[in-house]
């Protein structure tokens, strides 16, 4: 009789544990599904692409241009140049230069006491002289370029993307200073 009681209790406990295990695994799969849904944020900066509510900017190329070289002919310091495509996602008046300036800040962290935001230099690519301030149509994409005067030619440049001027930081990307020939 005792043997039958032990077997009965063992079976009941086994079934209870199996039931707990099933509910636990379905809960885990629900949690995983929730994580997948929230994994792609609405606004982001990743893989050289920033997306916010009204625009998308894709960085297509970066380059260090020394003084006297094409793209920095009149400069007396090296510049960090960025080529990019801007897509207007709304009916708002938007041009590639204003879009870039509203989203990106370039920083060279070579000052121990303050944040060293780099100053914008001359346009590094003359092919954009006429289109840099043209209004982009809804769902249209226009290419452009921007350059920043470097403080030195060894400290990496960090591009910080924000959700509009003084907005939430969406991400940063650091670019090593490498000579381009």
What is the per-residue pLDDT across 1-12, written as a single tens digit (0 to 9) for each? 444 433 443 434
**Is residue 85 predicted with pLDDT exceeding 60?**
yes
Q: What is the pLDDT of residue 153?
A: 92
Measured at the CA of 41, the angle between CA 36 and CA 43, to 5 degrees, comes to 165
pLDDT in tens, 150-178: 999 999 999 999 997 668 999 999 999 87
CA 106/CA 88 separation, integer angstroms: 22
Q: What is the pLDDT of residue 42?
A: 87
Give the mean pLDDT of 80-93: 97
Per the CB < 8 A criterion, the answer to whether 174 and 156 are in contact is yes
**Is residue 124 predicted with pLDDT exceeding 90?**
yes
pLDDT in tens, 133-144: 999 999 999 999
**What dotted CATH number matches 44-175?**
2.60.40.1240
Which residues touch 151 (CB under 8 Å, ≥6 apart)? 108, 110, 111, 116, 118
Of 41 and 170, the structure prediction assigns the larger pLDDT to 170
**Is residue 31 predicted with pLDDT exceeding 80?**
no
**List of E strands, 70-168:** 79-88, 104-108, 141-149, 157-162
Residue whose C-alpha is closest to residue 151's, from 123, 118, 115, 175: 118
Q: What is the pLDDT of residue 110?
A: 82
Give the mean pLDDT of 78-95: 97
- Split at pLDDT 50, 70, 90, the class of 15 is very low
What's the chain's average pLDDT?
81
User: Domain residue spans in the chain?
Assistant: 1-39, 44-175
Give the mean pLDDT of 40-49: 88
């Amino acid at each position: 009789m005792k043997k039958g009681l032990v077997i009965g209790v063992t079976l009941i406990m086994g079934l209870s544990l199996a039931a707990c295990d099933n509910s636990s695994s379905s809960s885990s799969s629900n949690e995983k599904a929730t994580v997948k849904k929230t994994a792609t944020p609405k606004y982001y900066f990743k893989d050289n692409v920033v997306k916010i509510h009204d625009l998308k900017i894709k960085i297509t190329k970066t380059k260090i241009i020394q003084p006297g070289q094409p793209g920095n002919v009149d400069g007396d310091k090296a510049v960090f140049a960025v080529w990019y495509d801007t897509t207007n996602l709304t009916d708002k008046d938007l041009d590639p230069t204003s879009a870039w300036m509203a989203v990106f800040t370039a920083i060279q962290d070579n000052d121990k006491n303050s944040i060293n935001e780099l100053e914008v230099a001359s346009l590094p690519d003359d092919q954009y002289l006429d289109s840099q301030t043209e209004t982009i149509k809804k769902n249209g994409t226009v290419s452009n370029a921007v350059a920043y005067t470097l403080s030195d030619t060894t400290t990496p440049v960090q591009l910080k993307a924000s959700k509009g001027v003084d907005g939430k930081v969406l991400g940063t990307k650091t670019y090593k200073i490498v000579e381009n020939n």
